[in-house]
């Protein structure tokens, strides 16, 4: 599930634009009948471009506005799904468990049952939200700040649970880095600041799995 794209160009020009998905024109844009580009350019003789080669010139102004379109698209998708869920709940009230109607659970053998939602689920949601803003690569400091903020908002108990969920051999940063890569993105060193090299080194140390302890004794300095 990804936001669909539609391309067009003026018959007399080589540059390829995205159709204007924004401003309530998504339907027109996606049906290839648009005469306005995402960047705002008016096309006098619009020609749909069914497929775009990576080597072809895409309008950079259109590219710059893609993120706004993607955010809009995902928001609309989320709202539609929420509405659908509400409709299903209204149709099947017997399936909705509220604190009032919930049946008291039979006494469990163990007091400490596994909670349905883990703290990592929360971290995963937070991460997914962050990644919506990026295509291909997320700046490492944004990832680090997002995970730090998430951790800071937890209660002490939840932070402890999070550490248990992650396991003793990893960290939130390492988990998040692996998660980013699982979603097909990468973490990038693109901070433009004077101490960026040092910070990137620190990031690499934090984000990579620790070296095998048995090698430690053979290490030469
Ligand atoms: Zn354009």
Tokens of 177: 């880095």
Question: Which residue matches tokens 């939840």?
Answer: 158
Nearest to 191 by CA among 127, 156, 140, 115: 140
Q: In angstroms, how far is CA 210 from the centroid of its own chain?
A: 26
Between the CA of 93 and the centroid of ligand 1 the distance, in Å, is 49
pLDDT of 110: 52
Q: In angstroms, how far is CA 201 from the centroid of its own chain?
A: 24
pLDDT of 136: 83
pLDDT of 75: 92
pLDDT of 59: 93
- Domain boundaries of the chain, sorted by first residue: 1-95, 119-211
Between the CA of 64 and the centroid of ligand 1 the distance, in Å, is 9
What count of other Cβ atoms lies within 10 Å of the Cβ of residue 180?
A: 21
Between the CA of 44 and the centroid of ligand 1 the distance, in Å, is 13
pLDDT of 62: 93
Which residues of the chain fall below pLDDT 70?
Answer: 32-33, 97-116, 190-198, 210-221
Between the CA of 37 and the centroid of ligand 1 the distance, in Å, is 5
Between the CA of 139 and the centroid of ligand 1 the distance, in Å, is 26
DSSP readout, 8-53?
EEETT---BEEB--TTTTHHHHHTT---BBTTSPBPSSEEEES---
The CA distance from 174 to 147, in Å, is 11
Q: Which residues pair with 16 in a beta bridge?
A: 58
How are beta strands 137-139 and 186-188 bridged, if at all? parallel
Tokens of 181: 């890569």
Q: DSSP letter at 187? A: E
ipTM over 0.90: yes
The CA distance from 58 to 171, in Å, is 40
Strands (E), the chain: 7-10, 17-18, 46-49, 137-139, 186-188
Tokens of 194: 């004077």
Contacts of 175 (CB under 8 A, 6+ apart): 120, 123, 166
Which stretch of DSSP H or E encloses residue 128?
helix 119-131
Between the CA of 63 and the centroid of ligand 1 the distance, in Å, is 7
The CA distance from 132 to 210, in Å, is 29
Q: What would you report as the CA-atom Rg of the chain, rounded to the nearest whole angstrom?
A: 24
The CA distance from 78 to 81, in Å, is 5
């Amino acid at each position: 599930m990804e936001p669909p794209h539609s391309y067009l160009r003026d018959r007399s020009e080589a540059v390829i634009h995205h159709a204007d998905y924004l401003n309530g024109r998504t339907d027109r844009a996606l049906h290839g009948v648009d005469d306005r580009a995402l960047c705002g350019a008016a096309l006098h003789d619009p020609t749909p471009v069914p497929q775009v080669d990576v080597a072809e010139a895409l309008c950079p102004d259109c590219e710059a506005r893609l993120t706004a379109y993607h955010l809009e698209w995902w928001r609309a998708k989320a709202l539609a799904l929420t509405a659908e869920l509400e409709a299903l709940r209204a149709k099947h009230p017997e399936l909705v468990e509220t604190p009032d109607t919930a049946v008291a659970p039979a006494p469990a053998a163990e007091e400490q049952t596994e909670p349905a939602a883990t703290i990592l689920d929360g971290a995963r949601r937070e991460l997914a939200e962050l990644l919506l803003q990026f295509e291909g690569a997320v700046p490492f400091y944004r990832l680090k700040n997002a995970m730090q903020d998430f951790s800071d908002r937890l209660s002490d108990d939840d932070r402890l649970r999070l550490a248990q969920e992650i396991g003793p051999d990893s960290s939130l940063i390492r988990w998040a880095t692996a998660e980013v890569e699982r979603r097909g993105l990468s973490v990038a060193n693109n901070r433009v600041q004077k101490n960026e090299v040092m910070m990137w080194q620190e990031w690499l140390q934090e984000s990579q799995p620790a070296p095998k302890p048995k090698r430690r004794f053979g290490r030469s300095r």
